[in-house]
């Protein structure tokens, strides 16, 4: 493997020559990273598909039925893997599929889809059904829009098509757009309906993993600001329909929600701003930014007080972890860039050195931000693969990696500690408390007593 | 979760709610990982491949590497030939496997890519191999996909040299690496030479070495799979997963194939060992007799923990068939038996076993889903649920203990290393089942009924 893999700084021949431009070294390289392209065939990309992108954005709408129109696999693999928590309905955790069979592929699946919708409405009465197109339904040309519209009229209920055929692009981001369109359709007031403006804000790109939205809401409430609805963590169909009533949109997961924010500005005149609740510093900054928007002395004061109190409260814990983690070397490989940026800051805050950062779906500007944050010589990589990850982890002598489920098992095998910052995590990592949880996760992994027992019989 | 599903009995006729199966390609991918030095390749768009790797990683907690043709709109319109050829070129150049095992997805199947033809035109480096199987996900399930890839191994690789060797082929079925290890140990104890394929032990239960092995030490080698054509006998464990390959071996190379159940439970393990003993004329060694004796002893020690209790079992057909047989041996009452994989043979086999045991009033279904199972349980509850992690929602809602069994298990660890096959597997299952029921009894006991010894 060694002689076949690339390292931008070294003279080794590239892993896959076509991928050379997708790997750059922070500081040194003047050329911008190559990204947002389709993955190379045969390259063992860690990326997923368009359908996946749409599903992860919409799935946290708790009281809707999510019906996957395709063969069973697409529905099976996305059954309740999002880890979003609900304070009410748990309908979203069920897995509905049209289970397309060979005859549906030959004769078309529209009839079956319509029949499924009918049964679902009759038996479960959901306030909305999201119908996801997958590769096969897209390929055979099922007109899911027509089927959904007809069903909507038939049942006088929201049946919303999500055009997320997997093959449209190798990039999840395209799926985010499909989800965004579905959301816009849901929240745009019907004729004659009006939504009154309030002083509340919408929290876009917040999926309530491990109750993170609830934590953010606690802070905002203390500041005197209400959350109108989160997109889409712990949201209901009715909540979402109130979305136009917000006076501000704050956007966390920019990859999935920037476009929605822009749409909301255009349609309803609601301004938006980016926020980030991962890490104490980011949280404090975001809260201040939000408070400033409200231009209210009292809000500002409460915000300052909250930040001062919380920062002081967690400082001893963070210091304890920092003492133990300082100087360790970290790698990051995550889905979207906002997460990467947050992680860089947090790991840095713990005194760690970031030697590798990558994303599956980052954009040029986002990579520029990432590069700017890193020390000279750190590697930045787009859409990487296990062979490259292995090489980097080894050569850069990484102690801890932050990533998702596929990276976890890889890191473990290499003897590298791991923190999950994706679907499989069960810890609330947002806000001030999240900063401590995160530090604890890094510490637990990097400083596990197991590391002492790896070589019982001596050796390297 | 399930509180939002209707309380009254409903039957849904279209589609699936909470599926009890997944799709063919993942089964093919898992089987391919059981060949040493093999890179599974998914011919289609990359989402599927990513999901399969993730799902397998979650169950086995080990890296699962597979490449994909990364279809986009172009490929979907013009066909995937170019993508597959590029993939083959890249994969051999970068990852250098000995063999690539291509499976299709619903997308490439819908387009109608002619894989054998594309392979003929592809540049495959000297000494390297590419095999393939068609696995549209709108047919069958992960089990039929697994079966298909096993068959492809025989079709592409197995040869007869005309000289039969005193060795047995074992097709282990879609089981965990720990099970494959245990099967290997049993045959080894019998002193019989064996070829097992696929064999994911050493691949998906590899130790931590601080070195990442893209192709870990385990797996059946290509040479072994080739040599399977010279064996005296094939034991196909689990009809759904293994019969197709065994039949083809018989047809292609003249190796006698004997279909058996997965050796889960006392009877099925006996049958497995007796088949070996009968065919090769080897005595069953004392070590295995001792293990068997321990199982019978344990069954007698514990029978009052579970005898007469009703149970619902779901999962993959071969697993469920063998488990049902064992439950009957244990004196339990399999009340609901369900698999997501289609196939009438399943219902016939289970109903036959239940009939023989004089058990009536059970519900048995192939191609079912967990919504149906839940509806049945709600109508008339059972004492115990046995199945995959997906059963946990029903277990919680209906307050029934769940013994995790089969694929996938996503919320517990260690299971892929611990066998459920063979006599040791029997002990493990007895322990899990009786512990689950006793824990429940302790939990539910009133203060005055709470006892030290059960
Ligand atoms: S079939 Fe298409 S939509 Fe479904 S998981 Fe695969 S790539 Fe994604």
Q: By alpha-carbon position, which residue is closest to atom 4 of ligand 1?
A: A74
Q: How far apart are CA B406 and CA B387, in angstroms?
A: 6
In this structure, what are the phi and psi dihedrals at residue A430, rounded to the nearest 5 degrees?
-95, 160
In this structure, what are the phi and psi dihedrals at residue A298, rounded to the nearest 5 degrees?
-60, -45
Test B51 with A90 for CB contact under 8 angstroms.
no
Name the band, by pLDDT with cuts 50, 70 and 90, for residue A4: very low
B132 touches B102 (CB < 8 A): yes
Q: Which two tokens stand for residue B92?
A: 């051999």
Buried b or exposed e, range A422-454, using 16+ CB within 10 angstroms: bbbbebbbbbbbbbbbbbebbbebbbeeeeeee
**Would you state the pLDDT for residue A15?**
56
Q: How far apart are CA B396 and CA B390, in angstroms?
A: 11
Using DSSP bridges, classify how beta strands B310-315 and B333-339 pair: parallel, antiparallel or unpaired.
parallel
C-alpha of residue B418 to centroid of ligand 1, in Å:
32
**Would you state the pLDDT for residue A12?**
38
Determine the atom of ligand 1 nearest the C-alpha atom of B47: 7
Q: How far is CA A443 from the centre of its chain?
A: 23
pTM for this predicted structure: 0.92
Preferred mutation among A3, A40, A66, A72 to probe B, highest tally of B CBs within 10 A: A72
Give, rounded to a whole angstrom, the gap between the first and last alpha carbons of chain A: 20
Name the residue among A152, A150, A174 with its Cα closest to residue A163: A174
* Burial of B80: CB neighbours in 10 Å, binned 0-12, 13-18, 19+: buried
B175 touches B60 (CB < 8 A): no
Q: To 10 degrees, the CA torsion angle through B144, B147, B152, B153?
A: 160
Test B14 with A112 for CB contact under 8 angstroms.
yes
Determine what percent of chain A falls in helix, strand and coil, rounding each to the nearest 5. Answer: 50, 15, 35
Contacts of B93 in chain A (CB under 8 A): 4, 16
Region at A211 (left for phi over 0; alpha for psi -120 to 50; beta for the rest): left
Contacts of B110 in chain A (CB under 8 A): 105, 135-136, 139-140
In this structure, what are the phi and psi dihedrals at residue B99, rounded to the nearest 5 degrees?
-150, 145
pLDDT digits (tens, 9 = 90+) for B277-305: 999 999 999 999 999 999 999 999 999 99
Q: How far apart are CA B288 and CA B349, in angstroms?
A: 28
Q: How far apart are CA A262 and CA A402, in angstroms?
A: 30
ipTM beyond 0.90?
yes
The verdict on the CB of residue A74 being under 6 Å from ligand 1 is yes
Peptide bond into B408 cis (omega under 30): yes
pLDDT digits (tens, 9 = 90+) for B399-454: 999 999 999 999 999 999 999 999 999 999 999 999 999 999 999 999 999 988 88
Adjacent-strand bridge partners of A61? A235
Region at A205 (left for phi over 0; alpha for psi -120 to 50; beta for the rest): left
- When the pLDDT of each residue in chain A is averaged and rounded to a whole number, the result is 87
Q: How far apart are CA B313 and CA B405, in angstroms?
A: 9
Q: Which of A42, A50, A76 sits opposite B67 (nearest CB)?
A: A42
Q: How far apart are CA B22 and CA A209, in angstroms?
A: 25
On the question of pLDDT at A120 being above 90, the answer is yes
Q: How far apart are CA B70 and CA A167, in angstroms?
A: 8
Q: To 10 degrees, the CA torsion angle through B421, B422, B428, B429?
A: 60
Adjacent-strand bridge partners of A235? A61
- B78 contact A CB<8A: no
Element (H, E) at B32: helix B24-32
Query: What DSSP designation does A456 have?
Result: T
Name the band, by pLDDT with cuts 50, 70 and 90, for residue A108: very high
pLDDT digits (tens, 9 = 90+) for B345-386: 999 999 999 999 999 999 999 999 999 999 999 999 999 999
Using DSSP bridges, classify how beta strands A329-334 and A379-382 pair: parallel, antiparallel or unpaired.
unpaired
**Would you state the pLDDT for residue A28?**
55
Q: Which of A207-216, A327-336, A382-391, B335-344 has the lowest mean pLDDT?
A: A382-391
């Amino acid at each position: 493997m060694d002689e076949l893999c690339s390292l931008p700084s070294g003279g080794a021949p590239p892993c896959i020559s076509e991928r050379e431009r997708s790997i750059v070294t922070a500081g040194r390289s003047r050329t911008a990273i190559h990204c947002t392209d389709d993955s190379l065939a045969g390259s063992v990309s860690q990326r997923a598909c368009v359908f996946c992108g749409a599903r992860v954005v919409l799935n946290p709408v708790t009281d809707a039925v999510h019906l996957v129109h395709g063969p069973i696999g697409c529905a099976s693999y996305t059954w309740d893997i999002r880890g979003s928590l609900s304070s009410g309905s748990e309908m979203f955790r069920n897995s509905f599929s049209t289970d397309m069979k060979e005859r549906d592929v030959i004769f078309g699946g529209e009839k079956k889809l319509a029949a499924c919708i009918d049964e679902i409405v009759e038996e479960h009465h959901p306030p909305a059904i999201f119908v996801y197109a997958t590769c096969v339904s897209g390929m055979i040309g099922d007109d899911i829009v027509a089927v959904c519209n007809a069903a909507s009229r038939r049942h006088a209920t929201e049946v919303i098509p999500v055009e997320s055929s997997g093959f449209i692009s190798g990039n999840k981001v395209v799926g985010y757009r499909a989800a965004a369109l579905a959301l816009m359709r849901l929240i745009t007031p019907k004729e004659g309906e009006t939504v009154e403006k309030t002083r509340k804000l919408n929290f876009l790109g917040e999926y309530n993993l491990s109750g993170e939205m609830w934590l953010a809401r606690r802070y905002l409430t203390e500041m005197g600001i209400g959350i109108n609805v989160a997109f889409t963590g712990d949201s209901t169909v009715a909540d979402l329909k109130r979305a136009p009533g917000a006076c501000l949109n704050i956007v966390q997961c920019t990859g999935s929600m920037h476009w929605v924010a822009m749409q909301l500005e255009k349609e309803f005149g609601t301004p938006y701003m980016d926020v980030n609740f991962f890490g104490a510093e980011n949280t404090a900054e975001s809260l201040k930014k939000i408070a400033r928007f409200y231009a209210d002395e009292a809000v500002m004061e409460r915000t300052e007080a909250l930040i001062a109190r919380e920062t002081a409260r967690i400082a001893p814990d963070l210091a304890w972890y920092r003492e133990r983690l300082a100087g360790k070397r970290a790698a990051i490989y995550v889905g979207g860039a906002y997460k990467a940026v947050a992680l860089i800051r947090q790991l840095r805050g713990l005194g760690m050195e970031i030697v590798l950062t990558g994303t599956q779906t980052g954009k040029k500007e986002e990579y520029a931000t990432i590069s700017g944050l890193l020390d000279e010589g750190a590697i930045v990589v787009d859409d990487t693969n296990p062979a490259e990850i292995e090489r980097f982890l080894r050569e850069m002598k990484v102690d801890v990696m932050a990533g998702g489920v596929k990276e976890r098992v890889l890191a473990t095998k290499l003897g590298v500690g791991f923190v999950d910052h994706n679907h499989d995590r069960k810890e609330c990592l947002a806000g001030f408390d999240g900063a401590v949880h995160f530090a604890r996760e890094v510490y637990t992994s990097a400083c596990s007593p197991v590391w002492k027992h790896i070589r019982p019989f001596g050796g390297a | 979760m399930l509180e939002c599903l209707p309380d009254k009995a409903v039957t849904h006729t279209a589609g699936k709610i909470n599926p009890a199966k997944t799709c063919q390609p993942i089964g093919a991918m898992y089987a391919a990982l059981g060949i040493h030095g093999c890179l599974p390749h998914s011919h289609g768009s990359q989402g599927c491949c990513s999901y399969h790797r993730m799902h397998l990683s979650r169950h086995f907690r080990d890296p699962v590497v597979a490449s994909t043709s990364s279809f986009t709109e172009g490929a979907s319109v013009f066909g995937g030939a170019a993508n597959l050829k590029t993939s083959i070129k890249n994969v051999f150049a970068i990852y250098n496997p000995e063999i690539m095992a291509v499976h299709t997805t619903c997308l490439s199947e819908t387009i109608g890519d002619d894989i054998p033809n594309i392979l003929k035109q592809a540049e495959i480096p000297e000494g390297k191999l590419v095999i393939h199987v068609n696995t549209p996900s709108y047919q069958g399930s992960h089990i039929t996909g697994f079966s298909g890839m096993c068959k492809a191994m025989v079709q592409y690789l197995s040869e007869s040299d005309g000289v039969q060797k005193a060795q047995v082929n074992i097709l282990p079925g879609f089981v965990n690496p720990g099970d494959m290890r245990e099967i290997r140990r049993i045959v080894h104890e019998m002193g019989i030479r064996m070829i097992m394929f696929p064999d994911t032990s050493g691949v998906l239960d590899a130790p931590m070495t601080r070195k990442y092995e893209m192709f870990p030490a385990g797996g059946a080698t290509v040479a072994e799979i080739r040599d399977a054509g010279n064996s005296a006998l094939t034991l196909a464990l689990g009809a759904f997963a293994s019969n197709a390959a065994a039949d083809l071996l018989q047809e292609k190379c003249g190796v006698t194939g004997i279909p058996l159940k997965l050796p889960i439970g006392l009877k099925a393990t006996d049958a497995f060992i007796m088949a070996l003993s009968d065919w090769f004329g080897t005595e069953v060694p004392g070590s295995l007799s001792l293990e068997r004796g321990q199982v019978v002893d344990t069954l007698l020690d514990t029978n009052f923990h579970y005898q007469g209790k009703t149970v619902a079992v779901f999962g993959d057909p071969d697993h469920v068939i063998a488990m049902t047989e064992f439950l009957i041996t244990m004196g339990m009452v399999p009340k609901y038996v369900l698999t997501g994989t289609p196939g009438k043979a399943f219902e016939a086999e289970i109903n036959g076993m239940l009939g023989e045991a004089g058990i009536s009033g059970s519900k048995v279904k192939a191609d079912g889903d967990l919504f149906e199972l839940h509806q049945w349980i709600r109508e008339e509850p059972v004492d115990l649920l046995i199945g995959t992690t997906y059963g946990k929602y029903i277990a919680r809602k209906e307050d029934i203990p769940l013994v995790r069994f089969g694929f996938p298990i996503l919320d517990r660890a260690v299971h892929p290393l611990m066998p459920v096959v063979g006599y040791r597997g029997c002990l493990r299952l007895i322990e899990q089942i009786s512990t689950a029921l006793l824990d429940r009894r302790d939990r539910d006991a009133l203060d005055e009924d709470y006892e030290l010894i059960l």
